[in-house]
Structure 1
Amino acid sequence: MTVLFFFCLLLLQAFFGVFDGHGGGKAAEFVANNLDRNIMKEVMSRCEEEIIEAVKDGYLSTDAGFLKEDLSGGTCSVTAMIRNGNLVVSNAGDCRAVLSRGGVAEALTDDHRPSRKDERDRIENQGGYVDCCNGVWRIQGSLAVSRAFGDRHLKQWVVAEPETTLLRIIPECEFLILASDGLWDKVSMQEAVDVVRPSCIGVDKSESISACKRLVDLSVMRGSIDDISVMVILLAHFLP
């Protein structure tokens, strides 16, 4: 189950998220309902220079809150917070954020998979193991992502701490694509930007929703059977 989330206040501050659940939908629903509030609580109590730490603590407190619910399952996430002309993009797992910068695709996140050397080293240093089963790298022979909310039985190794990218929104920053791995497993980042751009840039009326649908249809046509959720955020609305 995948959940999309969007919150906006007077175009000065906004929060967007894609949450891709596994082992049921409870984790995705919980995180979608709580993460923005927990992050904003941390952000409002700190100075602007500490925003990356604030997002991290918001992620971790949301994870702790879900674990207290004694529910099973987990969820990957990618979020984008826009605040005072800054774009703050964070991820835990294999949901991904891609920026169109003048029509060129730029990854703002790096998938958290057990095949990543730094992730594999972290897991093995904490006493876990990573192996490859039928071409898919997994933790303890089970999960194919190395960071996520929830996943109580693997929590020693599957952490919810995000990696975060912070950048200033400038006119060359056209739009942001947030999507679950069901898209990225079948559609390259530049392909996705090329599909979206004609509907959103240099036109009288943006057709971002139809562009999202075209991306989903393209992924399905290429054989994706995974959950596919896509969100396009037009950044011109948030130029400082």
Structure 2
Amino acid sequence: MLFDGHNGSGAAIYARENLLKNVLRAIPTCFCREEWLAVLPRALVAAFVKTDKDFQAVAETSGTTVTFVIIDEWVVTVASVGDSRCILESADGSIYFLSADHRFDSNPDEVKRVTACGSKVGKMDIVGGPEVGPLRCWPGGLCLSRSIGDLDVGECIIAVPHVKQVKLSNAGGRIVIASDGVWDDLTCEMALDCSRGFSSDVAAHRIVNEATRPRGIRDDTTCIVIDILPPENIAPIPSPPKRPSRIAFNNMFRRRSLDVPFKTNRSEYAEPDVVEEIFEDGSPMLSKRLTTGYTLEKIFAPSSCAVCLVRLKSGEGISVHANPLQHEKLQGWQGPFLCLSCHEKKEAMEGKRRPRGSSTNVFGHMC
């Protein structure tokens, strides 16, 4: 896990101490490994939102980026908010992005989402001079569209993470996770080139040194390097053949349907350089993120909130599909369900906050 805090360290410390516990609580303990991996993306979404909601209840205004990496044999799952990047170099030297960049400057979709929620996105306006610096959200001046915390910026800054899950071949690979202090000065290729052939701990030090060498430390500069290798080959990852590095984007992954069971036999692949995408979703819509993929009734108990897991009395649960401005009941099991406070947070994050003074209606049927 990598946390890059801003406006104080409170959010980063709180997320470090609570996020993993919230992820584990969101997955039924009776699940086998294949089921656990299949529901992990949904559990990460619920845990990020719960951690954000609980921290904001403390009324502290600090915030943090989060890059959360879970490795289970050859399966790597990454959940991220903010601008701390996670990349993978496969055995053949291909580079894969496992996280998303939620800076306004590099994400026009997030600019549209935040402005649609009623906030303004623009550069800092100096009286009597030109606008300067990166795009920021106003009020608040945050240059990120997603984070944990940041109570003072507004509800358009959300904690719904981008999640990607991939499976490496049995040739393994190297994962580099670093804060923006590294990526502001190094490209992915530069970071990998300066550290290739070294052990993971030495590689991390070399990347930080390379990033801070030209102009010194100007920002938090943190790096974690993880080598995923077969047990018989525990050594620094070798240099790939000399050839131009290529960056592999989403459409170059070999995709697997979520309905296909996981297989992690180490001899499954004949090709040493195959990286298979199992899952990816970066939608900001909490209702969509909680209802995709695995059989919902097996993940979410109908008597508990899908985010904070508080027990719900009969008739208390509000379906994530419910439209608070419509007065029609949904038919059948329409879970997962949310408690009132989590439903209000969902509506606020999705830009659907209800007018003041309006009443809340409970929809859906809890079996």
Q: TM-score, normalised by structure 2?
A: 0.56
CA distance in 2, matches of 1:138, 1:129: 8
CA distance in 2, matches of 1:228, 1:129: 29
* 1:113 aligned onto 2:103: yes
* 1:85 aligned onto 2:74: yes
More strand by share: 1
More helix by share: 1
Equivalenced residue count is 217
Secondary structure of the equivalent of 1:77? strand
Stretch moving more, 81-90 or 153-162? 81-90
Secondary structure of the equivalent of 1:186? coil
Distance 1:222 1:25, change over 3 A: same
Aligned partner (choices 218, 221, 224) of residue 231 of structure 1: 224
CA distance in 2, matches of 1:135, 1:237: 45
Q: Please say if residues 43 and 55 of structure 1, whose CA atoms lie closer than 8 Å, have aligned partners that are also in contact.
A: no
Q: Which residue pairs with 1:162 in the alignment?
A: 161
* 1:98 aligned onto 2:103: no
AA partner of residue 23 (structure 1): N
Match runs of 1:3-22 below 5 Å: 17-22=1-6
Aligned partner (choices 7, 29, 50) of residue 13 of structure 2: 29
CA distance in 1, matches of 2:182, 2:219: 8
Q: Please say if residues 2 and 67 of structure 2, whose CA atoms lie closer than 8 Å, have aligned partners that are also in contact.
A: yes
Match runs of 1:1-240 below 5 Å: 17-44=1-28, 47-48=35-36, 49-83=38-72, 85-102=74-91, 103-115=93-105, 116-133=107-124, 134-140=132-138, 142-199=141-198, 207-223=199-215, 224-236=217-229
Distance 1:84 1:173, change over 3 A: closer
CA distance in 2, matches of 1:198, 1:84: 22
CA distance in 2, matches of 1:237, 1:126: 48
CA distance in 1, matches of 2:230, 2:50: 30
User: Which structure has the larger Rg over C-alpha atoms?
Assistant: 2
Secondary structure of the equivalent of 2:229? helix
AA partner of residue 134 (structure 2): V
AA partner of residue 87 (structure 2): V
AA partner of residue 181 (structure 2): G
Return the offset for 1:84: 5.2
CA distance in 2, matches of 1:113, 1:147: 8
CA distance in 2, matches of 1:190, 1:152: 36
Return the offset for 1:210: 1.7
Distance 1:172 1:129, change over 3 A: farther
Secondary structure of the equivalent of 1:147? coil
Return the offset for 1:127: 0.5
Q: Please say if residues 104 and 190 of structure 1, whose CA atoms lie closer than 8 Å, have aligned partners that are also in contact.
A: no
CA distance in 1, matches of 2:27, 2:75: 13
Q: Please say if residues 73 and 150 of structure 1, whose CA atoms lie closer than 8 Å, have aligned partners that are also in contact.
A: yes
CA distance in 2, matches of 1:225, 1:143: 18
Q: Please say if residues 74 and 170 of structure 2, whose CA atoms lie closer than 8 Å, have aligned partners that are also in contact.
A: no
CA distance in 2, matches of 1:219, 1:237: 30
Return the offset for 1:135: 3.3
Question: 1:167-187, CA deviations, whole angstroms, 9 ceiling, x for partnerless residues?
Answer: 113234411111100000001
Question: 1:58-89, CA deviations, whole angstroms, 9 ceiling, x for partnerless residues?
Answer: 11111112112222200001111123532101
Secondary structure of the equivalent of 1:153? coil
- Structure 1 unaligned spans of 5+: 1-16, 200-206
Return the offset for 1:110: 1.8
Return the offset for 1:222: 2.4
- Structure 2 unaligned spans of 5+: 125-131, 232-263, 267-367
Distance 1:129 1:177, change over 3 A: same
CA distance in 2, matches of 1:195, 1:174: 16
